[in-house]
Amino acid sequence: MSAADGPADAAELLDVAVECARTAGALLLERFGSERVLATKSTSTDLVSAADLAAEQAIRDILARRVPDDAIMGEEGDDTAGTSGRRWIVDPLDGTVNFLYGLPQWGVSVACEGLAGAVYDPTRDELFTATADGSAQCNGIDLEPTPPEDLAHALVATGFGYDAGRRALQAEVAARVVPRARDIRRGGSAALDLAWTAAGRLDAYYERGVNLWDVAAGELICARAGLTVTRLAPVGELPWGTLAAPAAVFDELRPLVT
C-alpha cells in the first residue's frame, strides 16, 4: 500500500491504526513513571503532559505518511480537514491522570471512524482491535464475552468528569446503578473500559461527558464483540455519553443511566 494509492479496505486501515497505537504506546511507556504535568485544560484537575503531545504528534506523522488525504480529530491537536471522506479519531493517551500517578490503567485509542479501531494497553502489551466487517480481537484472538444472567450479576464500569458539579450529578446516576448491579468499577480510561467490556473483564460500561476520541475505537470493538452499543442523549446538565452492554443487561441498565 502506498501513500499515493491509500488504503484499499478496512484491514489496511486497521494496519494504520495499529501502527499508530503501538508507536505512541512505546513512546509513552518509556516515559511512564517519570512524566510531569505540563498544563491543565477544562479544570485544574484536567491534566495534559508532554507525553500526550509527543504521542499525538507521532500518530499524526504516521497518518500524514500513510493516509495523507484523511481528516484527523485529535484530543491534543487541531482538527485537520481531508478529501478522502474518512476521518481519524485519536486519543494519544487516554487515562492521563493514571499515567501521571503511575497507575497502569491508560492506553492509546486510534479509530478510522466507523471502519477500524485499535486500543493499545502498553503496560500489558494488549492490543484490542476491530473492523466494521470483522471480529473484535485482543492480540489476534477473537473476543467472545460471556454475558451475565442479568444486571444483578453484572460488573458495571463507569467514569466521572473533572468538573465537581458534573461529578455530583454522575454520582446520583451511579447511586441508582450500585444496588441493582453486582458492583461498580471506575478505572480511569474510557477506551480501556470499553475494550475490557468487549473482552468480558467487565460486563457493561456507561459514561456521560466522554469525548469522541475517548470512545470511537472502543465502541466499534464492543459492537464487533456482539455487545449492544448506543449513544446516550444529553439529559439535564449531563452531556451525551455511551453505553455498551450485552442484551441481557442493556435493557435493565439503560433506564437507570438515562
Under DSSP, the state recorded for 138 is E
The fold for domain 151-257 equals D-Maltodextrin-Binding Protein; domain 2 (3.40.190)
Residue 55, CA distances (Å) to 65, 199, 237, 252 in order: 16, 26, 33, 39
User: Is residue 219 scored above 90 in pLDDT?
Assistant: yes
User: Is residue 206 scored above 50 in pLDDT?
Assistant: yes
Residue 53: pLDDT band with limits 50, 70, 90: confident
Residue 4: pLDDT band with limits 50, 70, 90: very low
pLDDT of 11: 94
Superfamily of domain 10-142: Fructose-1,6-Bisphosphatase, subunit A, domain 1 (3.30.540.10)
In this structure, are residues 173 and 257 in contact, taking their beta carbons and an 8 Å threshold? yes
242 three-state secondary structure: strand
In this structure, are residues 219 and 207 in contact, taking their beta carbons and an 8 Å threshold? no
Q: What is the mean pLDDT of residues 167-172?
A: 96
Nearest CA among 198, 109, 103 for reference residue 157: 198
Reading phi first (left if > 0) and then psi (alpha if -120 to 50, else beta), residue 202 is in beta
Residue percentage of the chain with pLDDT more than 70? 91
225 three-state secondary structure: coil
| Average pLDDT of the chain to the nearest whole number | 91
Model confidence pLDDT, tens digit, residues 88-100: 999 999 998 899 8
Helices (H), 37-139: 50-66, 96-101
Q: What is the mean pLDDT of residues 76-97?
A: 92
What's the pTM? 0.92
Model confidence pLDDT, tens digit, residues 62-73: 999 999 999 999
**Beta bridge partners of residue 235, listed in sequence order:** 238
Domain segments of the chain: what residues? 10-142, 151-257
pLDDT of 78: 80
Q: What is the mean pLDDT of residues 140-161?
A: 97
- Cell, residue 169: 450529578
